[in-house]
Amino acid sequence: MQKIADLHVHTNISDSTFSPEKVVGLAKLAGLGGIAITDHDTCAGITPAIIAAKDMDIEIIPGVELTAEIEDDEIHMLGYFIDWQDKEFTKKLKELCRVREERAKEILKRLNEQGIDLKYEELLALAGPGIGSIGRLHIANLLYRKGKIACIRDAFTKYIGNDSPAYVKKFKLSPREASDMIKSVGGVSVLAHPKTINTENKPLKDTVEMLVDEGVQGIEVYHSDNNTRESKEFKEMAEEYGLLITGGSDCHGLGKKEVLLGKVKVPYELVEKLREASGFKHE
């Protein structure tokens, strides 16, 4: 039986509802040979996942997901096989998390102005002491816990989604800054979910070409939001520009779209190609 992997997985250290230990258990149930932990702006979930997977014959691929901006459009950059314990890298991630905290406080302020009384201390208590990066999903969970919404999705459609009253724009790195951060710790930089990139003013292919010039080494061809035609299109782009191919579920647990682990699986040969391209070798 061919070994398979899910290369885009989040934990509750960022904006998933599943703990690193829960994620590993679900990976085992899904028959996966490896998963990449790719939390937003934090690597704090990697070590717990490695410990949990120790006797399960599941490889934990150390990763991260960074937010960048190109010509006013937001993109996400995945980093694979990174040295997640590098001190300088950790310092930079902590600064990104601090900016996230300021954003969360501003969102709460705007919600309070709409008559929804939420306190930052309540948000921290709900997120838990081990949280690496506060995100909108934590605020959505708090809204739900306090009976302000009927389900998590309502938080994004009514209050904190991109076109909602309490939305606050996120700080973003440049693509070069994101790719350089990843490469500084031996990682491979990969464009996440290209389907989400705005193509109103520029064809996706042009944006991908610009990102290649900025240091991007791969593209997430397979994603839970893609249909067959889109994945085929992204694969052709990867081949044209000599980019590595990845794929993953982008699982966030039971929040947001409720996409579960292993919905997207890729053959392990793609993992090995990422490993070969990386400059960091971990045990």
Mean pLDDT of 46-50: 97
Question: Is 208 a residue whose pLDDT tops 70?
Answer: yes
Provide the pLDDT confidence category of residue 132 given band limits of 50, 70 and 90.
Answer: low
**72 vs 123, higher pLDDT:** 123
DSSP annotation string for 198-259: --SSS-HHHHHHHHHHTT--EEEEEETT--HHHHHHHHHHHHHHT-EEEEE--B-TTSTT-P
Mean pLDDT of 170-191: 95
Q: Which of 205, 279, 274 is nearest to 34 (CA)?
A: 274
The predicted pLDDT at position 253 comes to: 81
Cα distance between the two ends of the chain:
25
DSSP state of 158: I
Number of H helices, E strands in the chain: 10, 8
Mean pLDDT of 173-182: 97
Q: Are 62 and 90 in contact (CB under 8 A)?
A: no
Q: Parallel, antiparallel, or unpaired for β 59-70 and 34-37?
A: parallel
Average pLDDT, the chain: 91
Question: Is 205 a residue whose pLDDT tops 90?
Answer: yes
In the chain, domain spans: 101-160
Q: Are 249 and 259 in contact (CB under 8 A)?
A: yes
The predicted pLDDT at position 201 comes to: 78
Mean pLDDT of 110-128: 90
Q: What percent of the chain lies above the pLDDT cut of 90? A: 73
Question: Is 17 a residue whose pLDDT tops 90?
Answer: no
Residues 250-260 have pLDDT tens digits of 998 876 566 68
Q: What are phi and psi of 69, to 5 degrees?
A: -140, 135
Provide the pLDDT confidence category of residue 84 given band limits of 50, 70 and 90.
Answer: very high
* Whole-angstrom distance, CA of residue 90 vs CA of residue 162: 28
Question: Is 167 a residue whose pLDDT tops 80?
Answer: yes
Q: In terms of DSSP H, where are the helices of 78-199?
A: 87-113, 120-127, 136-145, 152-154, 175-184
The predicted pLDDT at position 283 comes to: 58
Determine the topology of domain 101-160 in CATH: DNA polymerase; domain 1 (1.10.150)
**How is residue 183 written in tokens?**
């490469």
The predicted pLDDT at position 129 comes to: 60
55-59, 83-87, 96-100: lowest mean pLDDT where? 96-100
* Whole-angstrom distance, CA of residue 80 vs CA of residue 267: 16
Question: Is 125 a residue whose pLDDT tops 90?
Answer: no
The predicted pLDDT at position 258 comes to: 64
Which residues have a Cβ under 8 Å from the Cβ of 99 and sit 6 or more positions away? 171
Q: What are phi and psi of 159, to 5 degrees?
A: -125, -45
Question: Is 281 a residue whose pLDDT tops 80?
Answer: no
Question: Is 238 a residue whose pLDDT tops 90?
Answer: yes
Residues 95-111 have pLDDT tens digits of 998 888 899 999 999 99
Provide the pLDDT confidence category of residue 133 given band limits of 50, 70 and 90.
Answer: confident
The predicted pLDDT at position 222 comes to: 97
Question: Is 261 a residue whose pLDDT tops 80?
Answer: yes
Q: Is the dihedral of CA 262, 47, 20, 104 positive or negative?
A: negative
Mean pLDDT of 171-197: 95
